[in-house]
Amino acid sequence: MSTARTIPLWTSTDTPPGGWSPATEGSTLDVAVVGAGIAGLTSALVLLREGRQVTVIEREGIGAGETLRTSAHLSNALDDRYYTLARQHGEDGAKLAAASHATAIDFIESQCRDSPDGCGFARVPGYLFAHDGDVSQLEKEVEAANAAGVSATLLPAGLQAPALLGPMVRFEDQARIDIGRYMRWLAQEVRDAGGRFVRAEVANIEGDSPCRITLRDGPALTARVVIAATNVPVHETDATYMKQAPYRSYVVAGAAPSNLQDALYWDTGDPYHYVRLFRDEDGKDWIIVGGEDHKTGQDDDPTAYARLHEWTLQRFPDAGPFTYAWSGQIIEPVDGMAFIGADPDNDNVFLITGDSGNGLTHGTLGALLVCDLVQGRDNPWTALYDPARKPVRAAGEWMRENANAAFQFRDWIKPASIDDTNQIPLGGGAVLRRGVHRVAVYRSGDGALHAFNARCPHMGCVVRWSSEEKSWDCPCHGSRFEAASGAILNGPTSEPLAPMEWKE
C-alpha cells in the first residue's frame, strides 16, 4: 500500500534483498528502525557499521512512504532561505544548517561512489530565480548564504541558464540522484551489513527500557532503542505535530528540452516551483518539475498537474510530452529546521521528521545525528534540530499554522456538499451527514460503497476527499487514509478510520 495512487518516475522495489523476516516475540531487539525510507535505511546502515544489531520494520516496501515521491534534489541551498534561517536560529544556526546538509550530500556521494552504477549521482550547480523579476530577495539570499558558508553568486539574466528565467543566484556543489537506484543500493548495503527487514505496520511505540513496539497485526516487540523514521511520528508523542504543518506538492515529468543545463532550479514564488533533469537507466533524458503546493486536505484542486504543464511550457517550450505525474507529502516545521533527536515524551526513542522540502538531505543528516546520539557521542547539530526546542522566533508562523488547523473544525457545522450517495461517481468520494455524524463515503470501481466515520482519530477533525490521490485527508494535521479500507497512509494518526454501515 503506497501512500498515494499516482506513480512516480522512480523505479521501486517491494521486497528487500534477502526477503522479509518474521516478527517474533522473544528476545529484545537491539535497535529497531521504523520505516524503510531514506532516513530509516541510512540510520540502519550507519548503526550497523558501528556494530549495532538493527531490525528495520516496514509496512510496505523500500522507499514506499514519501522517499520515492520526491524530485530527488540534493541541496544545501535550503528552501526556507538563509536570511530567514539566520533570523530564526542566529548566524551560527544558519552555518550549522548549511554544514549539516553539505555533510549529507557528501555522505550520499560516498555511498554512490561505492555502488556499481553510481546511482545517477552527479554534482551540479543550483539556480534560484525570481518568479516576478524582483531581485531584492536574491540579493538578500546571496549575502546570507555566503555568511552561512554556502558559495552563492548573483548572475545577470542569460549568463549561464535560459535568459527568460531572469537574474539568478548560482549555488555551487549541489547534486542530483536517481533515488530509486540509491534506495535499492542502501537496502542491499543494510542486508550485507547484517540488517534484518520485518514487514509489519507499527501501531504504537512506547519509550522505556526496553521500548515496546505494538504491531497492527502481529506480536508486541521490545527494543533497547527505537528510531521513528516514518515521515511523521505515528506513535503517541506531542513533541512535533503542533510545530510542523503538512503540505501536498505535485510533480510532473516529461521529455527534456534540448538546451536546458543539467542543474537544479527553483523560483521564489509561494508556492514555489523546482526543476531538474534526469537521465534514466535506458539513457532517456527527462525534465522533472514540481510545485503548486497546498495544505494537505485543503484547497483540493485537480488542475494542479495542468498548471505545472503550463508553467513549464512557458519557460521551456520544447519540453514534453509529459507522461508521469505524482504528488508527495512535505512536512514544514514552523522555524524551517527538521525535528531530529531524542523524543522528549518517550525514553530511548529517537525522531526524524520535518523535512521542510529537503527530505533526502534531512533524512540523511538525521540518520548521522541520531547515530551519534544513540552511541552516546556529542554532535554539533543536536540543539539546532532538537525535537524539544521551542520555536520562539517563529511564534508568528506557529500561531498562523495552528489557527489554520483549528479553523478546519468548522466542517462539523457546515452543511454537507452532497446529501445523496447517488451523486458520488465511480472512484469518487464525499463526506455526508448522518445526524450528528459525518460519514466519509467512497464508491469503488465496481460500484460498491465504503463508508467510514469521517472523524480523524488523531484530533477529531473531519477528513476531506482528495480527488488527486483518491484518499481521505485530514485538513488539520495531515493524516491521510486509504479510500476503500480507511487504512493509514500518513500520520500523525495512530489509528485508521472507523468503518460505518451505509445503505443507499
The residue ranges of DSSP E strands in 46-148, in sequence order, are 54-58, 73-74, 122-129
Q: Which residues pair with 440 in a beta bridge?
A: 431, 452
Q: What is the pLDDT of residues 457-480, one digit of tens each?
A: 999 999 999 988 999 999 999 999
Given a contact cutoff of 8 angstroms between Cβ atoms, the answer to whether 119 and 112 are in contact is yes
Given a contact cutoff of 8 angstroms between Cβ atoms, the answer to whether 333 and 355 are in contact is no
Q: Which residues pair with 275 in a beta bridge?
A: 265, 289
Q: What is the dihedral of CA 200, 205, 207, 211, to 10 degrees?
A: -20
Instruction: State the pLDDT at residue 401.
Output: 67
Q: Which residues pair with 326 in a beta bridge?
A: 251
- C-alpha to C-alpha distances, 469 to 302, 327, 396, 472, 492, nearest whole angstrom: 10, 8, 31, 9, 18
What number of other Cβ atoms are within 10 A of residue 99's Cβ?
17
Q: How many helices (H) does the chain have, and how many strands (E)?
A: 8, 24
Q: What is the pLDDT of residues 144-159, one digit of tens each?
A: 999 999 999 999 887 7
Cα–Cα distance measured from residue 355 to residue 358, given in angstroms and rounded to the nearest whole number? 5
Measured at the CA of 192, the angle between CA 187 and CA 196, to 5 degrees, comes to: 65
SS (H, E, C) 390-455: CCHHHHHHHHHHHHHHHHHHHHHCCCCCCCCHHHCCCCEEEEEEECCEEEEEEECCCCCEEEEECE
Please, which pLDDT band fits residue 416 given cuts at 50, 70 and 90? confident
Terminal CA-to-CA distance of the chain, rounded, Å?
Answer: 28
Instruction: State the pLDDT at residue 163.
Output: 73
Instruction: State the pLDDT at residue 72.
Output: 96
Amino acid at 170: R
Burial of 372 (0-12, 13-18, 19+ CB in 10 A): middle
Q: What is the C-alpha radius of gyration for the chain, rounded to an integer number of angstroms?
A: 22
What number of other Cβ atoms are within 10 A of residue 80's Cβ?
17
Residues 6+ apart with CB under 8 A from 392: none
Q: What is the pLDDT of residues 323-349, one digit of tens each?
A: 999 999 999 998 999 999 999 999 999
Concatenated DSSP letters of 329-397: EEEEETTS--EEEE-TTSTTEEEEE--TT-HHHHHHHHHHHHHHHHTT---TTHHHH-TT---GGGHHH
Helix (H, G, I), strand (E, B) or coil at 476: coil
Amino acid at 493: T
Instruction: State the pLDDT at residue 402.
Output: 62
The domains found in the chain, sorted by start residue, are 413-490 (2.102.10.10)
Cα–Cα distance measured from residue 224 to residue 386, given in angstroms and rounded to the nearest whole number? 21
Amino acid at 62: I
Given a contact cutoff of 8 angstroms between Cβ atoms, the answer to whether 137 and 75 are in contact is no
For the whole model, what pTM was predicted? Answer: 0.94
Instruction: State the pLDDT at residue 347.
Output: 97
> Does the pLDDT at position 206 exceed 80?
yes
Q: What is the pLDDT of residues 354-376, one digit of tens each?
A: 998 899 999 999 999 999 999 99
Cell matching residue 221 = 516487540
What number of other Cβ atoms are within 10 A of residue 449's Cβ?
16
Q: Among 460, 484, 470, 341, which residue's Cα sits nearest to residue 409?
A: 460
Q: Which residues pair with 274 in a beta bridge?
A: 266, 290
Q: What is the pLDDT of residues 437-456, one digit of tens each?
A: 899 999 999 999 999 999 99
Q: What is the pLDDT of residues 378-406, one digit of tens each?
A: 999 999 999 999 876 655 665 676 677 66
